[in-house]
C-alpha cells in the first residue's frame, strides 16, 4: 500500500440526508484549514476544495467498466463520478480525504484498497430527522418521503456489525461536534497506526 494512503487515511462520513453532515463538516473544515480534501460534489453544486477532472464519455465509461469509481451518476446528459484515483490523489497531497457518500458508496469503498475509516452520523430519531428536513426548507413531500425511506435503509445497515468504525448521534450539536472531531482528528494521528 502506498505510504500516503497509510498515513492519510480517507474518512467516509455517511448518514441519512438531513442528519447534519454538512453542518459538522463545515465546522471541521473551518477549525482545521488546509487539512482535509473533499472529493464529492454536494447536491446543491457546492464543490468545496474539489478538483474536477474532465474526460471523454468513452474514457469515463471505460473507467466505469474497470470499476474505477466509488460513485457515479448521470445528470442532464453529463456524467459525474468520484474515482478511486481522485481520492488517492488527495492523500498524495498529504490531506485527509473526506467522502460524504451514501450507503451504496460506503459498500463500494469497502471493496477498494483505500484504507478508509467509516463514520456514521445518526439522527436522534427518524421523527427528529423529518423535523430537520422540513425546517431546512429544501424538500417537497415527494423528496422528503424518498429521503426518509433511504434513511431507514441507512439506519438498518448501520446496525450491521462492522458496517462503520464509529457512530455519532447528532442530538446536541456541540456534543456531537466534539465527538465527531475528536474521532476524526484522533489526537493528530487521523487514524494512522503510528
Ligand atoms: N444537532 C442539531 N440539532 C438541530 N438541528 C440540526 C443539528 N445539526 C444540524 N441541524 C440542522 O438540520 C438540517 C440538516 O442539516 P445538514 O444540511 O447539515 O444535513 P446533511 O446530513 O448534510 O444533509 P444532506 O445529506 O441532505 O446534505 C439543517 O437545517 C441544520 O441546520
pLDDT tens by residue, 82-98: 889 889 989 999 999 99
Ligand 1 atom having least distance to the Cα of 100: 25
Nearest CA to ligand 1 atom 28: 136
Ligand 1 atom having least distance to the Cα of 23: 18
Domain that holds residue 183: 1-39+95-187
In a domain, 9, yes or no: yes
In a domain, 67, yes or no: no
**Distance in angstroms (rounded) separating the CA atoms of residues 113 and 115:** 6
In a domain, 65, yes or no: no
In a domain, 177, yes or no: yes
- Closest C-alpha to 49, from 109, 100, 120: 100
Between 118 and 1, residue with greater pLDDT:
118
Q: How many domains does the chain have?
A: 1
Cβ atoms of residues 5 and 88 within 8 Å: yes
In a domain, 78, yes or no: no
Here the CATH number for the domain that contains residue 175 is 3.40.50.300
Could you give the percent of the chain with pLDDT greater than 90? 68
Q: Which residues, in sequence order, are bridge partners of residue 168? A: 121
Nearest CA to ligand 1 atom 26: 17
123 lines ligand 1 (CB under 6 A): no
In a domain, 99, yes or no: yes
Give me the phi and psi of 119, to 5 degrees please. Answer: -115, 130
Residues 6+ away with beta carbon under 8 Å from 23: 173
In a domain, 131, yes or no: yes
Q: How confident is the model at residue 126 (pLDDT cuts 50, 70, 90)?
A: very high
20 lines ligand 1 (CB under 6 A): yes
Between 78 and 42, residue with greater pLDDT:
78
Question: With a threshold of 0.80, does the pTM exceed it?
Answer: yes
Cα dihedral across residues 77, 86, 82, 97: positive or negative: negative
Ligand 1 atom having least distance to the Cα of 15: 21
Per the structure block, which three cell numbers stand in for 16?
441519512
Q: Please identify which residue in the block is written with the cell numbers 468504525.
A: 165
In a domain, 90, yes or no: no
Per the structure block, which three cell numbers stand in for 98?
473526506
17 lines ligand 1 (CB under 6 A): yes
Amino acid at each position: 500500500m502506498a505510504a500516503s494512503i497509510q498515513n492519510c487515511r480517507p474518512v467516509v462520513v455517511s448518514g441519512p440526508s438531513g442528519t447534519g453532515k454538512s453542518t459538522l463538516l463545515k465546522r471541521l473544515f473551518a477549525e482545521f484549514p488546509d487539512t482535509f480534501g473533499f472529493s464529492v460534489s454536494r447536491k446543491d453544486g457546492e464543490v468545496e476544495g474539489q478538483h474536477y477532472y474532465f474526460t471523454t464519455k468513452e474514457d469515463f465509461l471505460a473507467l466505469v467498466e474497470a470499476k474505477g469509481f466509488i460513485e457515479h451518476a448521470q445528470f442532464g446528459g453529463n456524467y459525474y463520478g468520484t474515482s478511486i484515483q481522485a481520492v488517492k490523489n488527495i492523500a498524495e497531497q498529504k490531506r485527509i480525504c473526506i467522502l460524504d457518500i451514501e450507503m451504496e458508496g460506503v459498500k463500494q469503498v469497502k471493496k477498494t484498497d483505500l484504507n478508509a475509516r467509516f463514520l456514521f452520523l445518526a439522527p436522534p430519531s427518524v421523527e427528529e430527522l423529518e423535523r430537520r428536513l422540513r425546517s431546512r426548507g429544501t424538500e417537497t413531500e415527494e423528496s422528503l418521503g424518498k429521503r426518509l425511506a433511504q434513511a431507514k435503509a441507512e439506519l438498518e445497515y448501520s446496525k450491521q456489525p462492522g458496517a462503520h468504525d464509529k457512530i455519532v448521534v447528532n442530538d446536541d450539536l456541540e456534543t456531537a461536534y466534539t465527538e465527531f472531531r475528536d474521532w476524526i482528528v484522533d489526537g493528530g494521528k487521523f487514524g494512522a497506526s503510528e
